[in-house]
Structure 1
Amino acid sequence: MKFKILRACPEVKPIKLVNGEYEIYALEEITIHPDTQNKVKTGIRMEFNENYFAFINYENDSLQTLAGVVDSDYRGEIIVMLYNFGDKPVTIRKNEKCANITFHAIKHKLMVEIF
């Protein structure tokens, strides 16, 4: 499958394939306080085949993604929504990994509506 990564500005760190997942990086430094969520800008946009969707995921000792499905027709900036369920603030520095992206094929099944 081919897909395009569009960088919004030259300082956006290119994504990197690691163990079957693409790593994406924070465009700017951000601190997420305990029991709060925050958006992490990446400065990238994607284009890929309509028979796929992208899944954004990130987990460590304190952080977890809240939303993660990207449809093939979405053309806006990829923004990672992270929640800090730990008891200390977590800072993600500029160009530090903030998520992984995997691509998944959509396999349609015939659905029949029953009344």
Structure 2
Amino acid sequence: MLIDVSIRKLQGNEDVPLPAKMSAGASGYDIYAAVAEPVTIEPGERALIPTGFALSMPIGLEAQIRPRSGLALKHGITCLNTPGTVDADYRGEVKVLLINLGGQPFVVQRGERIAQMVFQTVPDIRLTEADSLDSTDRGSGGFGHTGK
């Protein structure tokens, strides 16, 4: 299924690459930092990083912003609020909320790959209030209910 999504580079970011898949089988599009100057994220700190682009997606689609595994493994850099959701009706600049869980400061450079974007369909759901719910073997068992 092919879905058209419009993407626009924002003014002043002509040098920053648009999101791109790094391999034919990749699910995510790598996202690049559009910082005007390098941004240092100290251990335990977070920073909102601009990407220099905006999207126009059809209703029923969302873009999820997720961490890059290499940054997480090598530097402890990940995304907060993961996955972050870009709603179909949002037309502003996509930004990435990074946090440094590593032990060293991390410098975000312009044009550096900082996250990935995965598109997902969102079904139209009708929530119906009920006085009771059907039962299951699990029931209300929540966090850690199955052991370690």
Ranges in structure 2 where 5+ consecutive residues have no aligned partner: 132-148
More strand by share: 1
1:12/1:44 contact within 8 Å kept: no
Between 36-45 and 104-113, the greater mean CA deviation after superposition:
104-113
Q: Does 1:3 align with 2:5?
A: yes
Q: Which has the higher helix share?
A: 2
- Residue type matched to 1:85 in 2? L
Greater RCO between the two (CA within 8 Å, min separation 6)?
1
TM normalised by structure 2 equals: 0.73
Q: What residue identity is the alignment partner of 1:65?
A: C
- 1:50: which partner in 2? 59
Off by >6 Å, runs of 4+ in structure 1: none
Residues matched between the structures, number: 115
3-state secondary structure, aligned to 2:123: coil
The DSSP-based 3-state class of the residue aligned with 1:17 is coil
Deviations 1:43-85 (A, max 9, x none): 1000111111110011413111113111000111011000111
Q: Does 1:22 align with 2:36?
A: no
Are 2:68 and 1:64 equivalent residues in the alignment? Answer: no
Identity among equivalent pairs (%): 27
RMSD: 1.3
- Structure 1 gaps, min length 5: none
Q: Is the 8 A contact 2:60 2:124 kept in 1?
A: no
**Structure 2 partner of 1:104:** 120
Distance in 2 (alpha carbons) for counterparts of 1:40 and 1:110: 35
Residue range with higher mean Cα deviation, 19-28 or 104-113? 104-113
Task: Give the Cα–Cα distance (whole angstroms) in 1 for the partners of residues 19 and 51 of structure 2.
Answer: 10
Q: 2:17 & 2:67 partners in 1: Cα distance? A: 18
Partner Cα distance (1:63, 1:36) in 2: 10
Distance 2:108 2:41 in 1: 8
